[in-house]
Amino acid sequence: MVKFADLIEQHQEELFILEALNAGKLLHLNKIIDIPAAINFLHYYAGAADKIHGQTLKCSVAPALAAGCTMIVKPAEKTPLPALYYANLAKEAGIPDGVLNVITGFGPTAGAAICSHMDVDAVNIALYLSCVLMLLLFTGSTEVGRLVVQAAARSNRKPVSLELGGKCPLIIFSDADVNMAVDIAKKAIFYNKVKFVWLGPVFLCMKEYMKSSLRRLLKVLKAGLLETLLIQTLIKDLRSMGINSRRFFGISIMEDTLIAKEEIFGPVMSLRKFKTIEETIEKANNTIYGLAAGILTNDLNTANRVSRLIRAGVIWINCYSTFDRDCPYGGYKASGFGRDLGLQALEKLSAREDCDHPYLWFPLAVT
């Protein structure tokens, strides 16, 4: 596993380019996040390999290798390139044939066949690397997640772990630092084209703070980001067609409508105001999702109180979209169930087997 990680590090440039060709991801994001994370996780679980005692562990690639498991990788049909290259590096690292296998194909055919196959004990279908063993792990949309669960239930009832969609609240209290709030909001709206399920959050601003923070945010966007966006070209095209209005308004959406509650998965800013803590908790929980949430405040008591009452698997306080390999990650409700990362990623995939021996029993005395 260490050699596998070293080879990934040696071939970083090729992987940077493959990731960019694969899904259009910016090169600098691959350089600072994706590839370093793959190397980091392999080293992390390589260190855990000799800490497994008296358990049978099944997991995704890095922890599965640490546990000595075999796996079948089914990448998404539109982004198969990195998985194939990782498999090539794994072979070069000396991982035996048949341990890490890659199958490419479409979900309704290849994915469905794996999920429903009676000889497969479990399936892990993720965006990059995954395994087929004792647990079904799926990363994707809520709709496809339902199909995966149904297929698992109809076959041999494979256990399931899901990471699905999100509609994550970012709560901004009146005592929050304005510069921090604007910086986090800017990243949450535009980072990686919002192609992470915890991005594009619903902004919940305290009423007296809303005008100042929104004004500051719009100023930042106008000075930098919006100048490079296609919307400027769109506005020019509209004006060339004789539409001379100088203002372009967004659509006001009622909070109970479907678009206000469903995941958009794009650079859309949704802003709501609140007056009390009770009101913001109600608004934050008024969704079918429960993946993540953010809280911006200088009052630690407020942060602790709100974090305990929000139904979300991950809660960030005075930060957003930060992860640590030791901290489990996952959601509630329609965002799925089960946890990834950390040693809990091993524990959720453990299979316990109790072995009883006659000499361990103490027979009752017969008189």
Q: What is the CATH number of the domain that holds 240?
A: 3.40.309.10
Residues 117 and 207 in one domain: no
**pLDDT digits over 160-207, tens only?**
888 888 888 889 888 888 888 888 877 777 776 656 666 667 778 777
* pTM > 0.85: yes or no: no
Nearest CA-CA partner of 30 in 44, 42, 41, 14: 14
What average pLDDT does this structure show over 143-165? 81
The answer to whether residue 363 sits within a structural domain is no
Residues 178 and 278 in one domain: yes
Q: What is the pLDDT of residue 72?
A: 75
The answer to whether residue 323 sits within a structural domain is no
The neighbouring-strand residues paired with 172 are 205, 296
Q: How many domains does the chain have?
A: 2
The answer to whether residue 364 sits within a structural domain is no
Residues 116 and 264 in one domain: no
Q: What is the pLDDT of residue 125?
A: 43
d(CA 275, CA 214): 16
Q: How far, rounded to the nearest angstrom, does the alpha carbon of residue 156 sit from its chain's CA centroid?
A: 27
Residues 126 and 175 in one domain: no
Residues 173 and 103 in one domain: no
Burial letters 254-284, b for 16+ CB under 10 A, else e: eeeeeebeebebebebbebbbeeeeebbebb
Residues 12 and 151 in one domain: yes
- Coil vs helix vs strand at 128: coil
Residues 150 and 179 in one domain: no
Write phi, then psi, for 138 (nearest 5 degrees): -135, 135
The answer to whether residue 256 sits within a structural domain is yes
Sequence length of the chain is 367
**pLDDT digits over 203-223, tens only?**
787 776 666 666 666 666 555
Residue 233 is encoded by which pair of tokens? Answer: 């070209």
Residues 259 and 136 in one domain: no
The answer to whether residue 279 sits within a structural domain is yes
**pLDDT digits over 2-45, tens only?**
778 788 888 888 888 887 887 777 777 777 777 887 787 777 76
Residues 192 and 264 in one domain: yes
Q: Is the pLDDT of residue 53 over 90?
A: no
In eight-state DSSP terms, residue 41 is H
Residues 245 and 148 in one domain: no
Residues 198, 292: contact at Cβ < 8 Å? yes
Residues 228 and 284 in one domain: yes
Domain with 68 in it? 2-164+335-351
